[in-house]
Amino acid sequence: MAEKQFKPYVAPEENVKELTLKSIILGCVFGIIFGAATVYLALKAGLTVSASIPIAVIAITLGRKFFKTTILENNIIQTTGSAGESIAAGVVFTLPGFLFLSIGADGKSAGEEYFTYITILVLAIFGGILGTLMMIPLRRSLIVKEHDTLPYPEGTACGAVLKAGEKGGDFAKTAFLGLGVAFLYAILQKVFHIIAEAPTFLASQKNKYFPSAKVSGEITPEYLGVGYIIGPRISGVLVAGGVMAWLAFIPLLAFLVPAETIAFQLAKLGMLGDITKAGGPGGWDPVTKTFGDYSVAIYQAYVKQIGAGAVAAGGFITLIKTIPTIVSSFKASLGSLKDGKGEEAVPRTEKDLSLKIVGIGSLVLIVLMALLPQIPGDSILDKLLIGVLVVVFGAFFVTVSSRIVGLIGSSNNPISGMTIATIMGTCLIFIAIGWTGQIYQPMALVVGGIICIASANAGATSQDLKSGYIVGATPRNQQIALLIGAVVSSIVIGYTVHILDTPTREMQAAGIQHAIGTDKLSAPQATLMATLIKGILKGDLDWQFVMVGVFISITMELCGIKSLSFAVGAYLPLSTTLPIAIGGGIRGLVDWKQKRSGVKLSAEDEELGKGNLFATGLVAGGAVAGVIVAILSVNETVTEKLAKINAEHGLSQMLGNGGYQILGVVFFALMGYILYRIGRQRSTTIAELEK
């Protein structure tokens, strides 16, 4: 058997420091930092990147130099910290949907009262704990028995990093350099406004050949870093969707659809109170019956719904393609539960938390969901049903998620597809028992949200347990660390969402009550989930636009292109996908140069390449700076002081508006060149370190 042949780095009989106070505290700190960064990035772009490897890299460097940590303590740091990133992704992909459910008579969303810090905290903790608990009985089946057949790429890479760290590998300098460059760039951009935030070219609505075509880019370090990490293929497909939306659909609709018809559509969607009043997306003027920016108005009125249909179909197609894996993994996992050993016969490296904890924890979760006032529902029986649905769907999709990431990695985990399937299943159950009122919309979102968080956390947990298996960790200690990390990071994730949702003074003046849902923080995945719930339970969705999106995804699949990436690109603004594609292009150029030089790297060595580490630093630095500026901007006194050091007006006067935007592009190009040069530098390979 594979588990008998495999020898971990630290033998089972060795007694090495592992679950210590300093390892938990450091892990929680990293979980907070990367959790906050993930919230920011996911709200802006609907994308995340795995935090496990950068946390492992930084843990080794700081731990060895300042805290004298062992390899198993470093593993606990990485394990605890990674919970923050995965839970943040699940939260942001779903829970902001409370703001986008059906509008009631009071003019507010049916779920707005539940979009509070306490509710987000409770749901994040429930989802994080559920994902960890459900993985406990699966560990032996997936991690141990299938060690040779399920690679768990991020977990294997983390294990390699931890072992290399024991032999003197110093990977963190490049990541810290990227973080420093990103932080400096972000301060120049978000505080001093020396760098333009989103250089834009917009064709006039009167343009004879290309009306209201818009090309723009949020030239931020985090987008450049994300593009480099995900590579040229995925980033290229993403921007292709954006090109179709902004340079094909929008100019076509701008030519064909009268402005007044667009305004009526925006009013129908609740984005424009009355077509006799000015405002709304694109700046409607009822006197001249024109928009200040037709591209934004058309995007919100039509293209976003087409994109929502494409994303829903793409997620569902991705899930359908993994059905064979789902069926086989579920059967194998159920079979593994029959294997049991007495506690006294189990070596240290095979000791898990008791299955009793899984059963009791699941029952407690159901009871708490029934009793807590933060959970939507008219009665305890209503809440009991959604608690049972959460545990049932959770057991299934945690198994699916854990198995899939073992094959294709956490970055490719079809969490959106699983969440869409959960929401559709929940809504159909609700319809079957006659629950179609607005009160049931937030209840359906709660089920989808907890499953999304649990599935995301289960995928990350599986990678962590794989790392632990490689280095010889104690599974029970890792599982305890994961539970602690889930709770601590949830505290800060809810706070970060709350802060980022606070509207600026300009937004408040325009009557905007929530920053989430604006162009600054579009929350694309959460908007989609809310759109689906409304469409199924209430039937007020413009299905003609959604079906266009569905068949766009089907067309992409028939062309051999991953439809979900293309669909997300069509849903997001081009300003988001364009800088990501530039980062992917730089990665493609670096890879091409390496191939020409005859350099061949393993998957682990690519993950630990200097370009990847620098890009990770760009993502973390840019996102953390964005969160800090958002927190500072909540205070009016700080906002006034920041306005005094804003250089945008002076630079625009001196260079002209076009010159100011070109200056920003030059800064972005310089950062891209630095990323390219660092990406071309040779990195020490794992094999060299292990000699």
Task: Report CA-CA distances (Å) from 421 to 79, 90, 533.
Answer: 29, 15, 11
Banded pLDDT at 342 (limits 50, 70, 90): very low
Burial 188-205 (b: 16+ CB within 10 A, else e): ebbbebbbbbbbbeebeb
CA atoms within 13 A on the CB side of 196: 23
pLDDT at 313: 83
pLDDT of residue 3: 42
- CA-closest candidate to residue 82, choices 161, 194, 193: 161
What pLDDT score does 317 carry?
82
Band (pLDDT 50/70/90 cuts) for residue 333 is low
Q: What is the mean pLDDT of residues 237-266?
A: 92
pLDDT score of 343: 47
pLDDT digits (tens, 9 = 90+) for 96-120: 999 988 877 677 888 889 999 999 9
Percent of the chain at pLDDT above 90? 29
460 Cβ partners below 8 Å, 6+ apart? 50, 52, 82, 83, 85, 86, 410
| Strand partners of residue 279 | 284
| Confidence band for 412, pLDDT divided at 50, 70 and 90 | low
Residue 518 has pLDDT above 70, yes or no: yes
Burial of 439 by CB count in 10 Å (0-12 exposed, 13-18 middle, 19+ buried)? middle
Check if the beta carbon of residue 237 is closer than 8 Å to that of residue 569: yes
Q: Which of the 8 DSSP states describes residue 348?
A: G
Check whether 409 has a pLDDT greater than 50. yes
pLDDT tens digits, 227-247: 898 889 988 998 999 999 999
Give residue-wise pLDDT tens across range 630-668. Answer: 777 767 777 778 788 888 889 988 989 889 999 999 999
pLDDT band at residue 172, thresholds of 50, 70 and 90?
low
**411: region left, alpha or beta (phi > 0 left; psi from -120 to 50 alpha):** alpha
| pLDDT per position as a tens digit, 220-231 | 898 898 889 888
Average of per-residue pLDDT across 188-216: 88
Helices (H) and strands (E) in the chain, counts: 29, 4
**pLDDT tens for residues 467-509?**
899 899 999 999 999 999 999 999 989 888 988 898 877 788 7
Return the half-sphere exposure (C-beta side, CA atoms, 13 A cut-off) of residue 307: 30
Question: Which positions ≥6 away from 416 have C-beta within 8 Å?
Answer: 93, 311, 314, 315, 318, 525, 528, 564
Q: What is the DSSP string of 185-251?
A: HHHHHHTS--S-S--EEE--TT-SSSTT-EEE----HHHHHHHHHHHHHHHHHHHHHHHHIIIIIHH
Tens digit of each residue's pLDDT (9 = 90 or more) over 72-92: 999 999 899 888 888 988 899
Rounded CA gap, 247 and 656, in Å? Answer: 26
What is the rounded distance in angstroms from the CA atom of residue 585 to the CA atom of residue 226? 11
Asked if 312 and 546 touch (Cβ cutoff 8 Å), the reply is yes
* Nearest alpha-carbon partner for 441 in 107, 113, 124, 116: 113
Burial 68-107, CB ≥16 within 10 A → b, else e: ebbbbbbbbbbbbbbbbbbbbbbbbbbbbbbbbbbeeeee
Question: Residue 2: its pLDDT value, please?
Answer: 41
What is the SS3 assignment for 464?
helix
Instruction: Specify the pLDDT at position 683.
Output: 62
Residue 273 has pLDDT above 60, yes or no: yes
pLDDT band at 338 (very low <50, low <70, confident <90, very high): low
pLDDT in tens, 15-44: 889 999 999 999 999 888 888 888 887 887
pLDDT over 90 at 168, yes or no = no
The pLDDT score that the predictor gives to residue 366 is: 93
Cα distances (Å, whole numbers) of residue 346 to 1, 12, 157, 333, 478: 16, 10, 27, 20, 16
DSSP state letter for 291:
E
With 50 as the cut, is the pLDDT of residue 1 above it?
no
Sign of CA dihedral 285, 290, 293, 297: positive
What confidence tens digit (pLDDT) does each residue in 553-572 have?
999 999 998 887 898 888 88
Asked if residues 27 and 79 have their Cβ atoms less than 8 Å apart, the reply is yes
- Element (DSSP H or E) covering residue 290: strand 290-291
Task: State residue 569's pLDDT score.
Answer: 86
pTM as predicted:
0.76
Answer yes or no: are the C-beta atoms of 314 and 568 closer than 8 Å: yes
What pLDDT is attached to residue 341?
47
Residue 194 CA to residue 179 CA, distance in Å, equals 19
pLDDT above 50 for 390: yes
Calculate the average pLDDT of the chain.
Answer: 83
